[in-house]
C-alpha cells in the first residue's frame, strides 16, 4: 500500500522532532560544560588572587580595601 500524504507528513514531522530533540540535548550538554568551565575559571582566578602578595579582588579587578 502506498503511503498517503498524511503518512508522509507525519513521518517528516517525527523526523524533524527527533532532530529537534537531539539539538536540545546537545544545547543542554554544551550549556552544562560552559557553566562548569565558568566555575573552574572563577576558582582559578580566586586561587591566583590568593597567591598574590597583596589583596586583590579578581571579580572587579581592583585592589581590595
| Bridge partners, 62 (sequence order) | 57
Give the tens place of pLDDT for each residue, 9-61: 999 999 999 999 999 999 999 999 999 999 999 999 988 878 877 765 555 55
**Domain-located, residue 35:** yes
pLDDT of residue 50: 82
Between 62 and 25, the more confident residue is 25
Q: Which residue has the cell 507525519?
A: 10
Q: Contacts by 1-8 with C-beta closer than 8 Å and gap 24+?
A: none
**Dihedral of alpha carbons 49, 50, 51, 55, sign:** positive
Compute the distance between CA of residue 5 and CA of residue 60 in angstroms, rounded to an integer.
61
Total domains in the chain come to: 1
Residue 29 in any domain: the answer is: yes
> Does 50 reside within a domain?
yes
In this prediction, residue 62 carries a pLDDT of 55
Put simply, whether the predicted model's pTM sits higher than 0.85 gets the answer no
Domain that holds residue 63: 21-65
pLDDT of residue 57: 59
Amino acid at each position: 500500500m502506498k503511503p498517503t500524504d498524511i503518512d508522509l507528513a507525519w513521518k517528516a514531522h517525527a523526523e524533524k522532532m527527533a532532530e529537534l530533540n537531539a539539538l536540545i540535548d546537545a544545547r543542554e550538554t554544551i550549556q552544562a560544560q560552559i557553566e562548569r568551565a565558568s566555575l573552574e575559571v572563577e576558582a582559578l582566578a580566586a586561587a591566583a588572587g590568593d597567591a598574590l602578595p597583596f589583596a586583590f579582588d579578581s571579580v572587579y579587578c581592583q585592589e581590595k580595601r
